[in-house]
């Protein structure tokens, strides 16, 4: 991890400590130290919100967040909602806190594809928060890429071509995939909703910045083109978005809280662990608006 610059974003009044923020790489992401997410005052919450909108991914090491406290923290970014796929296990008494687990006899659900969470929903989640409880050192990293930068990197002509265009997002890939997993219930493919159209370039509701909003997992094509016709251009966009220069790769430590903005990032869970390598995280999401 390279701390490219270190800026103090505020003094914490409750314990006299100073919350410190440092960039994680050139593309996106910042680490925030010396803060307790279970005890944030108004000013600290506002500073974290501002940092989040600037850096898109925030990493908070050494947190000890009970499920209820994780929900309360996530609420700072929008109403906390349960996962629409009711196939996932949740923490007892906390239906909005998903358990992401890999251990012997319970292999974890794979997320080794670039995606923005549930982009096929009418209102995809704005923000996702993962809290790592147990990890196997150096395995199961999560990668993130910056979709503002992906859009900015395109030529003027392609940006103009994409503006106002819509793409179709389908939940079919998730359903197909969940059928292969231990945490799946039997799903009737008829339950999968028809693909949903979202703008290819969305305007972030807080920052007002344009971001590319397509992903290789859920996006099946442009609204007014065939899937075959759409594929080459979608492949080009995904290749631009996932260039190494546009990616932060997070190596997990127990206690980490990592949050990302689904409106302007994609993420990818690296599948380099086996069933005997323990991985246990709690996940919450804050609801978002319909992309526009």
Q: Which residues bind ligand OGA (CB under 6 A)?
A: 100, 111, 117, 128, 130, 142, 267, 269, 283
Taking the least distance from each CB to ligand OGA, the nearer of 15 and 176 is 176
Consecutive H or E run containing 173? helix 172-179
Check if the beta carbon of residue 27 is closer than 8 Å to that of residue 65: no
Q: Which does 170 bind (CB under 5 to 8 A by kind): Mn ion, ligand OGA, none?
A: none
* Minimal distance, residue 207 CB to Mn ion, in Å: 21
Give the span between the Cα atoms of 100 and 121, in whole angstroms.
Answer: 21
Parallel/antiparallel/unpaired status of strands 196-199 and 247-250: unpaired
Residues that bind Mn ion (CB under 5 A): 117
* Minimal distance, residue 247 CB to ligand OGA, in Å: 14
Coil/strand/helix, residue 65? coil
Coil/strand/helix, residue 122? coil
Is 267 annotated as catalytic?
yes
Q: Which does 142 bind (CB under 5 to 8 A by kind): Mn ion, ligand OGA, none?
A: ligand OGA
| Exposed/middle/buried for residue 139 (C-beta within 10 Å: 0-12, 13-18, 19+) | middle
Taking the least distance from each CB to ligand OGA, the nearer of 55 and 283 is 283
- With CB atoms as reference, the residue minimizing the distance to ligand OGA is 269
Q: Which does 100 bind (CB under 5 to 8 A by kind): Mn ion, ligand OGA, none?
A: ligand OGA
Is 272 annotated as catalytic?
no
Q: Which does 56 bind (CB under 5 to 8 A by kind): Mn ion, ligand OGA, none?
A: none
Is 117 annotated as catalytic?
yes
Q: Which residue has the tokens 């593309």?
A: 27
Check if the beta carbon of residue 280 is closer than 8 Å to that of residue 99: yes
Is 5 annotated as catalytic?
no
In sequence order, the β-bridge partners of residue 127 are 261, 286
Catalytic residues, by residue number, are 115, 117, 267, 283
């Amino acid at each position: 991890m390279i701390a490219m610059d270190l800026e103090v974003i505020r003094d914490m009044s409750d314990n006299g400590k100073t919350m410190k923020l440092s960039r994680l790489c050139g593309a996106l992401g910042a680490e925030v130290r010396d803060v307790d997410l279970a005890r944030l005052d108004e000013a600290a919450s506002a500073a974290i919100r501002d940092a989040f909108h600037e850096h898109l991914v925030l990493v908070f090491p050494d947190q000890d967040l009970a499920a209820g406290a994780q929900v309360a923290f996530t609420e700072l970014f929008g109403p906390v909602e349960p996962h629409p796929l009711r196939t996932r296990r949740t923490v007892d008494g906390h239906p909005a806190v998903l358990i992401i687990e890999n251990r012997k006899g319970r292999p974890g659900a794979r997320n080794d594809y670039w995606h923005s969470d549930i982009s096929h929903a009418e209102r995809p989640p704005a923000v996702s928060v993962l809290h790592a409880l147990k990890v196997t050192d150096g395995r199961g990293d999560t990668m993130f890429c910056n979709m503002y930068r992906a859009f900015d990197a395109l030529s003027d002509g392609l940006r103009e071509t994409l503006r106002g265009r819509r793409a179709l997002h389908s939940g079919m890939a998730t359903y197909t995939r969940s059928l292969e997993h231990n945490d799946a219930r039997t799903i009737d493919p008829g339950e999968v909703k028809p693909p949903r159209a979202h703008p290819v370039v969305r305007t972030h509701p807080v920052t007002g910045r344009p971001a590319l909003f397509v992903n290789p997992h859920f996006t099946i094509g442009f609204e007014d083109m065939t899937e075959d016709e759409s594929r080459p251009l979608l492949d080009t966009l995904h290749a631009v978005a996932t260039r190494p220069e546009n990616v932060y790769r997070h190596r997990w430590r127990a206690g980490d809280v990592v949050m990302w903005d689904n409106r302007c990032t994609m993420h990818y869970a690296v599948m380099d662990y086996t069933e005997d390598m323990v991985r246990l995280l709690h996940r919450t999401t804050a609801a978002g608006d319909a992309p526009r």
